[in-house]
Amino acid sequence: MAEVKMPKFEKSSESVLKLFDEITANLPGERKKMFGYPCLFLNGNMVAGTFGAEIIFRFGADAHESLKAKYMALRDFSPMPGRVSKGSLAAAAIDSNKAILRELLLQALAHAASLAPKVPKARKHKKS
């Protein structure tokens, strides 16, 4: 069986990180890293995060297509070719998108608030 190689992911630039910090400032939730990228979580549910030159947002399936139709800046989030992340949309993290990014962030935050809190999974300990 051939070994599957993971692609190398582009790190988010300082300007992307600064923009993410700016639009998430003063919002409820917990900021932590996922796969090395800064993200915002609410009650254990992901709200938004950076990925390379983009900011990704989590939405419910009911809002997914209507948001893509409303905002031309949005696309399906695909961390790897052919692997679309369900319920996630991405937009370029550029200052000219700041108002749209902030609006999307507030909608993603409302979606996360509507979900049941996630209970952390117990970590399995390796036996020595």
Query: pLDDT by residue (tens digit) across 19-60?
Result: 999 999 999 999 999 888 899 999 999 999 999 999 999 998
What count of other Cβ atoms lies within 10 Å of the Cβ of residue 91?
Answer: 19
DSSP E strands: which ranges in 1-128?
Answer: 30-34, 37-42, 45-51, 54-58, 75-76, 88-92
Asked whether residue 97 is domain-assigned, the answer is: yes
Cα separation, 35 vs 110, whole angstroms: 24
Q: At residue 37, what are phi and psi to the nearest 5 degrees?
A: -110, 140
User: How high is the pLDDT of residue 111?
Assistant: 94
CB atoms within 10 A of CB 37: 19
* Structural domain boundaries, residue 110: 14-114
- CATH code, domain carrying 75: 3.30.1460
The total number of structural domains in the chain stands at: 1
Q: How confident is the model at residue 121 (pLDDT cuts 50, 70, 90)?
A: confident
Judged by average pLDDT, the poorest of 61-70, 107-116, 118-127 is 118-127
pTM of structure: 0.81
Check residue 42 and give its pLDDT: 96
